[in-house]
Amino acid sequence: MAILKAFKGLRPPNEIEKELASRPYDVLNSQEARVEADGNPYSLLHIIKPEIDLPKGMDEHDQQVYDKAKENFEKFKERGWLVQDGKEHLYIYAQTMNGKTQYGIVGCAGVDDYLNGIIKKHELTRHVKEEDRMKHVRITNANMEPVFFTYPAVKEIDEIVEAYVKSHDPVYDFVADDDIGHHFWVIEDDEVMTRIISLFNEIPYTYVADGHHRTAAAALVGNEKRKQNPDYSGDEEFNYFLAVHFPDDQLSIIDYNRVVKDLNGLSDQEFMNKLEEGFIMESKGSAIYKPDKLHNFSMYLDGKWYSMTARPGTYDDTDPIGVLDVTILSQLILDKILGIKDLRTDKRIDFIGGIRGLGELKRRVDSGEMKVAFALYPVSMKQLIDIADTGNIMPPKTTWFEPKLRSGLVVHSLDD
């Protein structure tokens, strides 16, 4: 059953929360982080992307980068930009995008839950990315950024959260530069916290929605610390890590699309002929076409948009992986026709989150950088949970959650 633990969060004072809260470390590169943090000494990017305070061109995995993270974290605490709460709390973090608000419970998840499979995954992790975040956790001795979890919705938890936010003012309430609203409450009522924790203990599994590498890193560092402290009791903060838990019925996954550099030596017409074998093709002209149902795709090639519907018999709706449109696209087009065997390593393919819109696909192709673009219908939460429950792994770059969590509204220290 799922562990949820209250903790003494490190939080920014009210007057700087908007400036300090940042996008997650992995959604922007070093140069983008430099631009975003320019002129803003409060930005958490100085801790989670600390290479921005070092000479350009430095390897972001250089030890100096991790040392800078620790140095900047200590400065933030010394200057009162991150201040630890006096007692343990759970927190509520809500986000509003396009008029819809989703409410998450902020608390610590358990290292044991990760090691024992109570926290379920749907993606593989890469060792180099795991090790990068592990070094960051080790040197700061903190979970600077929360991971994004989901759980099967529980009516009573929803009711408790709804009642609490109606009767209490948020401690933070701002709209970020991307027009997404962020609202944050500190739960002060011990009875409310105890009840939420008790209800979580009845939830059989939680699921990583976004942040597989941060989840693995946090849990593995916690396990390292156990080995370094063989007499640990289990109550130490290193047995837990920072997570925001959202009910599954409040979340939506948006499309995660693909662009490819070439047609693997085929002419446009040869390529189209091969597509006809697996798809019902329909030209949509120059107007952007967005897939409208499962197994329907859109393609942009040579200035034209096409609707592509996978022919019956080319997919398996009874297979948690075979039913996915990313699987159909990979097997029937990327692998079979374009010769792209490994989505993780092939340099001929790139991935574009749906938040950028299908106009970004058109732009990448029209610029000559890419030859063809494919847009997919989004994966559902049910598909994600089915895959995690059956022990399967989604193909790379399948899910894109929006809105992203802002980092820095609360930090979890591993110091007791």
Domain ranges of the chain: 10-252+402-413, 256-377
Amino acid at 233: S
Q: What is the mean pLDDT of residues 376-404?
A: 92
pLDDT tens figures, 212-251:
999 999 999 999 999 999 999 999 999 999 999 999 999 9
CA 184-209-145 angle, 5° bins: 50
pLDDT tens figures, 67-85:
999 999 999 999 999 999 9
CA 129-130-133 angle, 5° bins: 90
pLDDT tens figures, 294-303:
999 999 999 9
Query: Long-range pairs for 47-55 at CB < 8 Å and ≥24 separation?
Result: 47/72, 47/73, 47/76, 47/140, 47/144, 48/22, 48/24, 48/136, 48/144, 48/145, 48/407, 49/25
Structure tokens at 89: 């709390």
Report the candidate in 120, 392, 86, 107 with the shortest Cα–Cα distance to residue 237: 107
Q: What share of the chain is helix, strand, coil (3-state, %, to 5)?
A: 35, 25, 40
pLDDT score for 108: 98
pLDDT score for 366: 98
Please say whether the beta carbons of 337 and 382 come within 8 A. no
Structure tokens at 91: 């927190």
pLDDT band at 145 (very low <50, low <70, confident <90, very high): very high
C-alpha to C-alpha distance for 244 and 146, rounded to whole angstroms: 6
Query: What's the CA dihedral at 51, 55, 58, 64 to 10 degrees?
Result: -60
C-alpha to C-alpha distance for 248 and 206, rounded to whole angstroms: 10
pLDDT score for 237: 97
pLDDT band at 337 (very low <50, low <70, confident <90, very high): very high
Strand partners, 352: 257
Please say whether the beta carbons of 214 and 165 come within 8 A. no
Please tell me whether the peptide bond between 312 and the residue prior to it is cis, using omega within 30 degrees of 0. no
pLDDT tens figures, 240-251:
999 999 999 999
At residue 312, φ and ψ (nearest 5 deg) are: -55, 140
Report the candidate in 334, 313, 348, 317 with the shortest Cα–Cα distance to residue 376: 334
Q: What is the mean pLDDT of residues 326-353?
A: 94
Type and span of the H or E element at 277: helix 268-278
Q: What average pLDDT is seen over the chain?
A: 96
pLDDT of residue 416 exceeding 80, the answer is: no
pLDDT score for 83: 98
| Distinct helix (H) and strand (E) counts, the chain | 13, 20
